[in-house]
Homo-oligomer: A and B are copies of this chain.
Amino acid sequence: MRTHYCTDLNENNVGEDVTLAGWVNSYRDHGGVIFIDLRDKTGLIQLVCDPADNEQAHKVASQVRDEFVLIAKGKVRKRGEGLENPRLKTGKIEIVIDELTIENRSEPMPFTLGDENVGEDIRLKYRYLDLRQKEMFETFQLRSKAAIAARNLLDSLGFLEVETPILTKSTPEGARDYLVPSRVHNGEFYALPQSPQLFKQLLMVSGFDRYFQIAKCFRDEDLRADRQPEFTQIDVEMSFCTQEDVMKVAEDLLKAMFGACGYEIKTPFNRITYRDSMEKYGNDRPDLRFGLELVDVIDLFENCDSPIFAEIAQYKKLNRIKALKVPGGDKAFSRKIIKELESFVSKFGAKGLAYIQVKEDGLKGPILKFLSEEAIETMKSRLEMEVGDIVFFGAGNKKTVLDYMGRLRTEVAKRMNLIDENRLEFVWVVDFPMFEVEDGEVKALHHPFTMPKNIDEDDVEEIDSIAYDVVLNGIELGGGSIRIHKLDIQRKVFEMLGIDEEEANEKFGFLLDALKFGAPPHGGFALGFDRLMMLLTKKESIRDVIAFPKTQSATCLLTQAPSQVDEAQLKELGIRIRKQPKTDAAQ
């Protein structure tokens, strides 16, 4: 119905007869001549309806309102001297209209497109209008381009995209499953997959060698800002591979996807061990766009005069005393700001926030009095203190200290404006522990199919796994591992996790069976595609990169899903709705 998109046209087309189609972005009447900015997915162009040129078209134009759908035939004309619009790509030309058709009308819009004061609820209810914004379209254009780039890269490396089931059995990620009642087998349920983990491992047992899938995954969890009940992951698995092989594929993949979105990135990425990352940055997803590394100073407090610090310093495995030196921080941070930082860390379990200021006339700070001359001198040189710096201290239980000092590091970086928003700092975090122990319960840090390095180590917390995460600017993009391909190791891991043979057979029997029939060494990774797109398009919310997202209460405001269904449907499924409201007393 059109000969061109709006911004296909430029001065080279002057004199040509064209047909355009799109929406009325705006219109105005200037001395009887009607000017319409017509919009399509490519952008805007100005239509001119002068009654002197064409009375009929002018008559139609006079009925036009915002968001009407038009088909416009006319001739491309150079705009008059001084009438050019440099803000428009097509600002040097306009279309003199011969024939104008209103293809469809529009009621007044329920909100103004792009108005930042409009609540998200109304935008989600009218999502199809919200998506009319240029920026929205460009976001989904990038998303499509990035997915195509990912697929072509993986295809070129010999990976096959294989679709795995959506109606399947509970998967072992440990989050809550979405269930689907079976009509044929009343009383039984399918589960929607939390990932294609087991299927991709089975495909390796099949000898498919290299698999990928851009896969929908589902978790029925309470939603945070960057979570959705359904999300998309780029899922990759390969056989006869080392950790290095897998990382190389992941790097090539990210390079291709970022490349498709206009970012050149350098590979290979830096690496850091899980333990180093925890000690230096307080977490396992370090933001390396800035320094501010945490420094261990527990040894300096060993025989100090503060009974509290001295006590903490006695247990070097359980506790930490960490210093965060902020260059120039003494000048930048007023007493008020320091109070705010103290209050910030207290939210994460800090009992206080000790600090030392490096003044022209020496160090100042209440904790100095507990330390020996020698300890102070060691600290000065270890931290390379300079006049104008401030050093914060966190002391106590290891987990708590690392957590709040890591958060303090980021908070300080924000306040000191140390974060270059245009930098892309990728890093691999490697050598994850295989297990974590919480309240005496042993859990898999990645998942129970991860290959341990030293399974026979006595201390379970010292068993490492061949697992790796890829982190960008402090955000985990994804991760993976080399998997267990030997039955005896898999059984041992289940045992250590307290999963007895019956439960293991019930839940993962088919995987255990598969390991009996010649499973090759294999490993892989998965990237969170939504989160990746969020970073690539610099969006605040994951909802901005999903065409039809759900709210934090897992509702679709557009379609009103979930909704009530007919009693007859429930009967067919062999289920009924519980009449009693849930109470805390319920199990």
Query: Taking the nearest CB of chain B, how far is it from the CB of A151, in angstroms?
Result: 6
Which residue on chain B has the smallest CB distance to residue A1?
B240
A45 to chain B, nearest CB (A): 14
What CA separation (Å) do A536 and B218 show in the bound complex? 32
Q: Does A160 contact B (CB under 8 A)?
A: yes
B577 touches A574 (CB 8 A): yes
Q: Is A183 an interface residue (CB 8 A)?
A: yes
For residue A131, which residues in chain B have a CB less than 8 angstroms away from its CB? Answer: 203, 206-208
Contacts A148-B151, A186-B577, A575-B576 given; indicate if A561 touches B168 (C-beta within 8 A).
Answer: yes
Q: Flag A46-67 by CB within 8 Å of B: 1 or 0 each.
A: 0000000000000000000001
Chain B residues, CB < 8 A from A22? 207
Residues of B within 8 A of A120 (CB): none
From 125 to 150 in chain A, residues with beta carbon under 8 angstroms from any chain B beta carbon are 126-129, 131-132, 136-137, 140-141, 143-145, 147-148
A545 CA to B295 CA in the complex, in Å? 57
Q: Does A230 contact B (CB under 8 A)?
A: yes
**Proximity string of chain A (539-573) to chain B, C-beta cutoff 8 Å, 1 when within and 0 when not:** 00000001110100111101111111101110111
The total of chain A residues at the interface (CB under 8 A) is: 125
- Which residues of B lie under 8 Å from residue A242 when comparing CB positions? 1
A331 part of interface (Cβ distance < 8 Å):
no
- CB nearest to A239 among chain B residues: B21
Which stretch from A187-195, A424-432, A445-453, A454-462 is at the chain B interface? A187-195
Contact present for B582 and A71 (CB under 8 Å):
no
Q: Is A309 an interface residue (CB 8 A)?
A: no
* Residue numbers in B under 8 Å from A167 (CB-CB): 178, 218, 229-230, 550, 554, 556, 561-562
- Kindly list chain B residues whose C-beta atoms are within 8 Å of the C-beta of A347: none
Contact of A561 among B169, B558, B582 (CB under 8 A): B169
CB–CB B202/A128 < 8 A: yes
A473 contacts partner chain B, Cβ-Cβ < 8 Å:
no
Q: A179: CB under 8 A from chain B?
A: yes
Question: Which residues from 498 to 541 on chain A have a C-beta closer than 8 Å to any C-beta of chain B?
Answer: 509-510, 513-514, 516-521
Q: What 6 pairs between A and B have smallest CB-CB spacing?
A: A131-B206, A106-B518, A188-B562, A169-B561, A169-B559, A1-B240
Given A105-B518, A179-B573, A198-B559, 10 extra CB contacts under 8 A: A21-B520, A127-B206, A129-B206, A152-B152, A165-B550, A167-B218, A167-B550, A176-B572, A184-B555, A567-B587
Ordered by A's residue number, 25 sampled pairs between the chains whose C-beta atoms are within 8 Å are: A1-B242, A21-B520, A41-B207, A67-B517, A103-B521, A104-B519, A104-B520, A106-B516, A106-B518, A126-B517, A128-B202, A128-B205, A131-B203, A152-B152, A163-B216, A165-B550, A165-B556, A168-B559, A169-B563, A181-B575, A182-B554, A185-B554, A187-B564, A188-B562, A571-B586
